[in-house]
């Protein structure tokens, strides 16, 4: 499956992890997303674009888009049903834009790319508000204030920042920390050489996939 990142063109919504639907793809053609991403699309639309005349609501397992004259000439609705793999094909109601590392929207950073890729895997990162890194607890029930003092994965950029421009991204590194929050052995994962830029979109998707697989294997 070919995985890419997309944003809603002309807005700050996204990025969303998705796959283009087979065939010729244009901005108004559908992209295929998981339930997790479809839920985020709905939240962004209802909260971020409240009042635009287009809303999204769940009629499980379907996602229903409804619009009035503020959005189109006539009122209407569209129901998106999950396919055999549980994915949703969303398109036709606004223009999508494929994310390219070299042409990033100014609001998106390398950290944004990785958080989006991890969110697709159902993984939330935590920050201590001071260090240029994130932590993922091995036990999802770990209280947020205790994450850094309990077993966790530490994810850092090879640059001294996690919020720099994607075009300057040079790789991700992942370390395991023990029950006291201390480093436990050598790094688990490393990408790039820390000097030369690497494609931030691809690198973030690969790092997120590694983290998801590692957490699954060590549950």
pLDDT in tens, 150-186: 999 999 988 777 777 888 889 999 999 999 999 998 8
Question: Could you tell me which residues come within 8 angstroms of residue 212 by beta carbon, excluding any fewer than 6 positions away?
Answer: 118, 121, 122, 123
Give tens-digit pLDDT for 106-146: 557 888 888 888 988 888 888 877 777 889 999 989 998 89
> Apex CA 116: angle with CA 112 and CA 122, to 5°?
140
Q: Can you give the pTM of this predicted structure?
A: 0.64
> Structural domain boundaries of the chain?
4-98, 104-217
Q: How far apart are CA 30 and CA 15, in angstroms?
A: 15
Q: How far apart are CA 167 and CA 145, in angstroms?
A: 32
Nearest to 121 by CA among 8, 67, 40: 40
Q: Which stretches does DSSP call E strand in 115-201?
A: 133-137, 152-157, 172-177, 189-190
């Amino acid at each position: 499956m070919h995985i890419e990142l997309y944003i809603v063109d002309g807005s700050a919504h996204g990025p969303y992890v998705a796959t283009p639907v087979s065939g010729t793809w244009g901005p108004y053609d559908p992209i295929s997303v998981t339930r997790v991403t479809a839920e985020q699309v709905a939240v962004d639309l209802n909260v971020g674009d409240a009042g635009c005349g287009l809303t999204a609501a769940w009629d499980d397992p379907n996602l229903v888009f409804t619009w009035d004259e503020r959005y189109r000439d006539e009122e209407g609705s569209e129901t998106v049903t999950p396919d055999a793999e549980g994915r949703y094909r969303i398109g036709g109601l606004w223009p999508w834009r494929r994310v390219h590392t070299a042409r990033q929207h100014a609001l998106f950073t390398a950290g944004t790319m990785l958080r989006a890729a991890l969110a697709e895997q159902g993984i939330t990162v935590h920050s201590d508000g001071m260090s240029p890194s994130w932590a993922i607890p091995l036990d999802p029930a770990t209280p947020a204030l205790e994450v850094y003092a309990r077993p966790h994965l530490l994810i850092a950029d090879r640059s001294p920042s996690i919020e720099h421009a994607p075009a300057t991204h040079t790789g991700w590194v992942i370390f395991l920390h023990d029950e006291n929050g201390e480093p436990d052995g050598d790094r688990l994962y490393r990408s790039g050489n820390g000097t030369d830029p690497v494609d931030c979109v691809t690198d973030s998707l690969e790092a997120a996939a590694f983290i998801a697989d590692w957490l699954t294997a060590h549950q």
